[in-house]
């Protein structure tokens, strides 16, 4: 697992344990903050893995929560320092904190399940399609930013080939095959790229057909990341205007896991999904030919 991924997972695990211990003992965040001599927001951020826990902070909280020496030792193994440097740090100027966290965790994941209602999943996008999304989306970006973010997404796609190979399950709505993102030429390039990509054994691709109705409908895209170590819980990110936003509680993660299963049940089988994809490629190719021949 990449060092940055392990770094984030340790912080998440420590935060979850501290929250569990505090709640089991019915101690308020206000009381914990008083013991640590900090404000309540810092306790909240530590439990959400958004603030570092110092050794002193941990010792104080362990005393307050009446943690056994063995359990305190185990918690101390989860304390982390500065993050190691990885490839995505080269693009820090165009990556917000949420995207950085998502990319780092994805880099260490072994399974990713992604649903997208209007676009093709990120790891299956052609370069021209990625650029079109960045240039014409809700928040269109400048050309230099687009170039950097295309490079980030292309680098992420290496996980489909690198060892250990990422198992990627992508589900899209049928609408994603019809929205002409970037125009017809770009869309035709993207769908042909998708046909090639889905031949890999570690990629499972499904389409939710129009006739599935509300059973397979969900407005926002989201992704679930799973890890090799069973101690590391699955994480979920939900797409919004600001990008991929992490879910803060296991209850939310479980809700999105159930939602993904429901969408999967409404989707066509992988074979039927690929057949539909081929039909769409053929129809787009025919349309282009007709437009070229028309006077």
The conformation of residue 94, written as its DSSP 8-state character, comes to G
HSE-CB of 38 using CA atoms within 13 angstroms: 20
What domain count does the chain have? 2
Q: Is residue 4 very low, low, confident or very high in pLDDT (cuts 50, 70, 90)?
A: low
User: Are 56 and 134 in a shared domain?
Assistant: no
Tell me the average pLDDT across 223-230.
88
- For tokens 């409404």, name the residue: 266
User: Are 236 and 127 in a shared domain?
Assistant: yes
User: Are 111 and 56 in a shared domain?
Assistant: no
Predicted confidence at residue 295, as pLDDT, reads 37
Is the model's pLDDT at 286 over the cut of 60? no
CA 177-255-30 angle, 5° bins: 130
User: Are 55 and 172 in a shared domain?
Assistant: no
Task: Report the CATH number at residue 74.
Answer: 1.10.260.40
User: Are 64 and 100 in a shared domain?
Assistant: no
Predicted confidence at residue 148, as pLDDT, reads 86
CA quadruple 49, 55, 61, 62: dihedral sign: positive
Domain boundary, last residue among 51, 78, 105: 78
Domain with 124 in it: 87-291
User: Are 101 and 19 in a shared domain?
Assistant: no
Could you give phi then psi for residue 291, rounded to 5 degrees? -65, -35
User: Are 65 and 95 in a shared domain?
Assistant: no
Domain boundary, last residue among 35, 52, 78: 78
The answer to whether the beta carbons of residues 225 and 104 sit under 8 Å apart is no
User: Are 203 and 103 in a shared domain?
Assistant: yes
Predicted confidence at residue 288, as pLDDT, reads 56
| Beta-strand runs (E) in 129-198 | 167-173
Q: Convert the pLDDT of each residue in 105-143 to its tens digit.
A: 898 889 999 999 999 999 999 999 999 988 876 666 677
Domain boundary, last residue among 59, 78, 97: 78
Residues in the chain: 295
Q: Which of 9, 3, 4, 1 is nearest to 164 (CA)?
A: 1
User: Are 73 and 208 in a shared domain?
Assistant: no
Q: Convert the pLDDT of each residue in 55-104 to its tens digit.
A: 889 999 999 999 998 888 888 888 866 555 567 777 777 788 888 889 88
Predicted confidence at residue 140, as pLDDT, reads 65
User: Are 103 and 217 in a shared domain?
Assistant: yes
HSE-CB of 213 using CA atoms within 13 angstroms: 0
Is the model's pLDDT at 293 over the cut of 50? no
The answer to whether the beta carbons of residues 251 and 242 sit under 8 Å apart is no
Q: Convert the pLDDT of each residue in 17-30 to its tens digit.
A: 999 999 999 999 99
Q: Is 86 helix (H, G, I), strand (E, B) or coil?
A: coil
Q: Convert the pLDDT of each residue in 253-277 to its tens digit.
A: 999 999 999 999 999 999 999 999 9
CA distance 128 to 144: 15
Task: Report the CATH number at residue 93.
Answer: 3.30.870
Is the model's pLDDT at 294 over the cut of 50? no
Strands 167-173 and 235-240: unpaired
User: Are 73 and 94 in a shared domain?
Assistant: no
User: Are 57 and 132 in a shared domain?
Assistant: no
Q: Is residue 290 very low, low, confident or very high in pLDDT (cuts 50, 70, 90)?
A: very low
For the purposes of burial, counting CB atoms within 10 Å of the CB of 60, is it exposed (0-12), middle (13-18) or buried (19 or more)? middle
Predicted confidence at residue 292, as pLDDT, reads 44
CA 178-279-128 angle, 5° bins: 50
Q: Is 279 helix (H, G, I), strand (E, B) or coil?
A: helix
């Amino acid at each position: 697992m990449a060092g940055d991924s392990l770094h984030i997972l340790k912080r998440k695990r420590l935060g979850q344990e501290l929250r569990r211990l505090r709640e089991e003992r019915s101690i308020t965040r206000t009381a914990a903050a008083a013991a640590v001599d900090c404000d309540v927001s810092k306790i909240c951020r530590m439990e959400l893995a958004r603030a570092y826990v110092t050794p002193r902070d941990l010792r104080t909280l362990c005393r307050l929560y009446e943690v056994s020496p063995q359990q305190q030792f185990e918690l101390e193994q989860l304390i982390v320092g500065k993050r190691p440097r990885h490839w995505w740090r080269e693009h820090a100027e165009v990556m917000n904190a949420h995207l950085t966290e998502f990319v780092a965790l994805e880099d260490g994941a072994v399974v990713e399940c992604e649903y997208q209602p209007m676009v093709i999943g990120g790891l299956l996008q052609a370069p021209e399609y990625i650029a079109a999304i960045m240039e014409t989306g809700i928040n269109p970006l400048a050309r230099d930013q687009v170039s950097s973010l295309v490079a980030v997404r292309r680098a992420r796609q290496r996980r489909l080939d690198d060892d250990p190979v990422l198992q990627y399950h992508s589900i899209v709505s049928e609408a994603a095959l019809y929205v002409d993102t970037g125009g017809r030429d770009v869309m035709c390039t993207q769908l042909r790229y998708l046909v090639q990509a889905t031949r890999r054994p570690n990629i499972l691709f499904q389409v939710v057909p129009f006739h599935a109705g509300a059973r397979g409908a969900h407005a926002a895209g989201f992704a679930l990341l799973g890890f090799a170590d069973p101690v590391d819980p699955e994480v979920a990110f939900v797409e919004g205007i600001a990008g991929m936003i992490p879910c803060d509680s296991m209850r939310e993660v479980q809700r999105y896991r159930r939602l993904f299963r429901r969408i999967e049940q409404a989707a066509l089988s992988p074979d039927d999904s690929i057949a539909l994809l081929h039909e769409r490629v053929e129809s787009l190719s025919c349309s282009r030919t007709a437009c070229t021949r028309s006077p």
